[in-house]
């Protein structure tokens, strides 16, 4: 079977080979990127940001390093660690059989489908928020209180505003803005959010 050399490695593999924490490897790569970028050197080709799914089914960042990226990173480590990394990228790697290639392609398609699904979900949420901004009744805290006949001494507008902002953030609801002649730019919230907060007061 024809052989070729390893041309890339993930930061997870680097962590395993060097017996370092993955978080520490990520930190080291970002430090290299920062140093190189500050000198006008583009690093996207040798350090490509990607992600993986951890054992808790959470998306986590990782980097895919080319052979040059591995060598660049290895230069910051001690002789033993450097040797391990250089040895790894110098090792021959088997060319995948047709069946292995199909399995690898299927895995890529699954990952791409997952990413597309996440993007589509984000787009739907954004469209929903845009429709809410256009069609729903967005009110300032004071305007809501006036509309409901709630006296100023019965609530604290700053406290209510903070709670409403927190609730909107948790639910991915856009907070509106209006210009007030006295206070400048102030937030507006969906009426149902303010309903919920005032009812809990």
Look at residue 62 in the predicted model and tell me its pLDDT: 93
Percentage of the chain modeled with pLDDT above 90: 19
Look at residue 142 in the predicted model and tell me its pLDDT: 86
pTM of the shown model: 0.45
Look at residue 183 in the predicted model and tell me its pLDDT: 63
83-99 confidence digits (pLDDT tens) = 988 888 877 665 666 77
Q: Is 24 left (phi over 0), alpha (psi -120 to 50) or beta?
A: alpha
Whether the per-residue pLDDT at 122 is higher than 70: the answer is: no
Residues in CB range of 56: below 8 A, 6 or more apart: none
């Amino acid at each position: 079977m024809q052989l070729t050399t390893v041309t890339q490695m993930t930061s997870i593999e680097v962590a395993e080979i060097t017996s370092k924490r993955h978080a520490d490897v990520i930190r080291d790569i970002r430090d290299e990127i920062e140093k190189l970028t500050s000198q006008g050197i583009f690093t996207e080709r040798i350090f490509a940001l990607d992600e993986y799914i951890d054992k808790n089914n959470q998306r986590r960042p990782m980097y895919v390093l080319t052979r040059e990226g591995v060598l660049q990173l290895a230069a910051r480590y001690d002789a033993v660690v450097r040797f391990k990394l250089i040895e790894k990228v110098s090792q021959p790697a088997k060319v995948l059989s047709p069946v292995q290639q199909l399995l690898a392609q299927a895995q890529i398609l699954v990952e791409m489908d997952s990413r597309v699904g996440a993007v589509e979900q984000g787009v739907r949420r954004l469209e929903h928020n845009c429709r809410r901004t256009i069609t729903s009744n967005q009110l300032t805290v004071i305007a809501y209180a006036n509309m409901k006949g709630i006296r100023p001494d019965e609530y604290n507008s700053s406290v209510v505003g903070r709670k409403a902002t927190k609730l909107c953030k948790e639910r991915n609801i856009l907070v509106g803005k209006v210009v007030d002649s006295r206070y400048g730019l102030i937030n507006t919230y969906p009426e149902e959010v303010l309903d919920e907060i005032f009812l809990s007061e």
